[in-house]
Amino acid sequence: MKFVVQRDPLLKSVQDVMKAISSRTAIPILTGMKIEAKQNGIVLTGSDSDISIESHIQAEADGIVNVEQIEEGSIVLQARYFSDIVRKLPEQSIEIESDEQHNVTIRSGKAEFNLNGQDAEEYPQLPKLNTDDSLELPTDLLKSVIKQTVFAVSTMETRPILTGVHLKLEDGKLNFTATDSHRLASREIPVEETNVDFSSVVIPGKSLNELSKILVDNDETVDIRVTQNQILFRTKNLYFLSRLLDGNYPETSRLIPDQSKTSIHLNTRDLLHTIDRASLLAREDRNNVVKLSTNGNGMLEITSNSPEIGHVSEEITADSIEGEDLKISFSSKYMMDALKAIDSDEVKIEFTGAMRPFILRPANGEPIIQLILPVRTY
């Protein structure tokens, strides 16, 4: 195998593929990165058996030559060393060559590295998802939906199914939902007629976080395909394969109240900054609790009290307050996460009582729901 490649596209691909490679794997060859040279370019592959990533560098794209002098072949290199070397090579042009004994030479400028490779035949074959059922979403939309939901997955392995985001396709709408049983984030997007045959899958939150980092903000689409236990996200130069979580996701629709006793409409950013300031004195060992109370004249009071440290209170003007007066306590972290996920200048918050879950929605009517359980304070 032999080829000459430009450093920038190689570095980008290496960094993407590294997200699927773990040093803690039971299969030693998976600490390596598979490099495959083909006539139309090179393919880098990494996998930790939960997620697998294939990145393609086209020999020529948009009139720019990325890879040349290609002699076909493949090799597996220790990923950590290979990525460090590529990052620090002195020149734009990099020559990579391997011999029959799997010895690899990497040259750039006056620098030359010799590495011991492994036989690519020993690298596990990635499953090929050849289902015809695929769904297309714009890249920027998929990234924003992940950002608006994935933060609410559980980090506790006690209920593994809650560490994932639930995707449900129903009546021409694709719904993403995440909950850790103290809060819930949900976003719905309309999809065009599709022959996709999956009604409900759960994708590990970790996989979606990594996917979101790799996807480039552009107007391309992502092709999504599902089989029984895996999901593939495919763009022009990327294959991202993730396992799915086993089990039934809890029915969350009944958690969302269908009526409210108090409704508040106000500026998202003002509320976020006010809660951020109040949380400075919120006690660490009590979920960073802050209190919100209405005081009858269109104002809200946000307070936080920590006996050892001190007390903070701040008033904020609401655009409108309708319904009963209210006093409620909640985790400032959960509230700030929810407000950051709402892509709207104005937010509407609906309460059904001091000890009932409350809902945040963008005032512009976008189908995003953030639900938070209040905290009991004595």
SS (H, E, C) 318-378: CCEEEECCCEEEEEHHHHHHHHHHCCCCEEEEEECCCCCCEEEEECCCCCEEEEECCCCCC
Q: Considering only CA atoms, which of 12, 30, 32, 137 is closest in space to residue 79?
A: 32
Rounded to an integer, what distance in angstroms lies between the CA atom of residue 301 and that of residue 317? 9
Q: Considering only CA atoms, which of 123, 135, 167 is closest in space to residue 234?
A: 135
User: Is residue 49 assigned to a domain?
Assistant: yes
Rounded to an integer, what distance in angstroms lies between the CA atom of residue 344 and that of residue 114? 53
Structure tokens at 307: 């006996």
> From its phi and psi, is residue 247 left (phi > 0), alpha (psi between -120 and 50) or beta?
left
Beta bridge partners of 104: 98, 115
Rg of the chain over all Cα atoms, to the nearest angstrom: 25
Residue with tokens 């004994």: 101
Identify whether residues 260 and 323 lie together within a single domain. yes
Identify whether residues 228 and 144 lie together within a single domain. yes
Identify whether residues 308 and 221 lie together within a single domain. no
- Predicted pLDDT of residue 219: 79
What are φ and ψ of residue 268, in 5° steps? -60, -45
The answer to whether the beta carbons of residues 240 and 234 sit under 8 Å apart is: yes
Rounded to an integer, what distance in angstroms lies between the CA atom of residue 188 and that of residue 194? 16
User: Is residue 177 assigned to a domain?
Assistant: yes
| Inter-axis angle of helices 7-18 and 79-88, nearest 10 | 150
| CA-based torsion, 234, 237, 241, 242: positive or negative | negative
The domain that contains 115 carries what CATH number?
A: 3.10.150.10
Q: In sequence order, which residues have a C-beta less than 8 Å from that of residue 283 and are 6 or more positions away?
A: 289, 306, 308, 309
Identify whether residues 86 and 188 lie together within a single domain. no
**Full pLDDT tens readout for the chain, 378 residues:** 999 999 999 999 999 999 999 888 888 999 999 999 999 999 999 999 899 999 999 999 889 999 999 999 999 999 999 999 999 999 999 999 999 999 999 999 999 999 999 999 999 988 777 666 788 899 999 999 999 999 999 999 899 999 999 999 988 899 999 999 999 999 999 988 676 767 889 999 999 999 999 998 887 899 998 887 899 999 999 999 999 999 999 999 888 988 999 999 999 999 999 999 999 988 666 668 999 999 878 899 999 988 888 999 999 999 999 999 999 999 999 999 999 999 899 999 999 988 999 999 999 989 999 999 999 875
User: Is residue 324 assigned to a domain?
Assistant: yes
Rounded to an integer, what distance in angstroms lies between the CA atom of residue 37 and that of residue 120? 12
- Among the candidates 243, 271, 301, a domain finishes at 243
* Biggest distance spanned by C-alpha atoms of the chain: 81
What are φ and ψ of residue 238, in 5° steps? -140, 135
Identify whether residues 77 and 142 lie together within a single domain. no
Residue 344 amino acid letter: S
Identify whether residues 261 and 310 lie together within a single domain. yes
- Among the candidates 217, 243, 269, a domain finishes at 243
- Among the candidates 79, 100, 122, a domain finishes at 122
Give the three-class secondary structure for 235.
strand
Q: Residue 6: which domain range?
A: 2-122
- Helix, strand and coil in the chain, % to nearest 5: 25, 45, 35
Structure tokens at 200: 């409900």
- Predicted pLDDT of residue 62: 87
Give the three-class secondary structure for 245.
coil
- Terminus-to-terminus CA distance in the chain, angstroms? 70
Domains contained in the chain, number: 3
Identify whether residues 118 and 6 lie together within a single domain. yes
The answer to whether the beta carbons of residues 4 and 226 sit under 8 Å apart is: no
- Predicted pLDDT of residue 286: 61
User: Is residue 148 assigned to a domain?
Assistant: yes
User: Is residue 377 assigned to a domain?
Assistant: no
Identify whether residues 268 and 202 lie together within a single domain. no
Identify whether residues 138 and 115 lie together within a single domain. no
Give the three-class secondary structure for 281.
helix
Rounded to an integer, what distance in angstroms lies between the CA atom of residue 107 and that of residue 307? 63
User: Is residue 129 assigned to a domain?
Assistant: no
Identify whether residues 60 and 163 lie together within a single domain. no
The domain that contains 316 carries what CATH number?
A: 3.70.10.10
What dihedral do alpha carbons 122, 83, 224, 163 form, nearest 10°? 90
User: Is residue 251 assigned to a domain?
Assistant: no
CA 193-254-340 angle, 5° bins: 75
Beta bridge partners of 111: 108
Q: How many residues does the structure list for the chain?
A: 378
Identify whether residues 260 and 234 lie together within a single domain. no
Beta bridge partners of 361: 348
What dihedral do alpha carbons 311, 334, 356, 271 form, nearest 10°? 60
Identify whether residues 118 and 143 lie together within a single domain. no
User: Is residue 266 assigned to a domain?
Assistant: yes
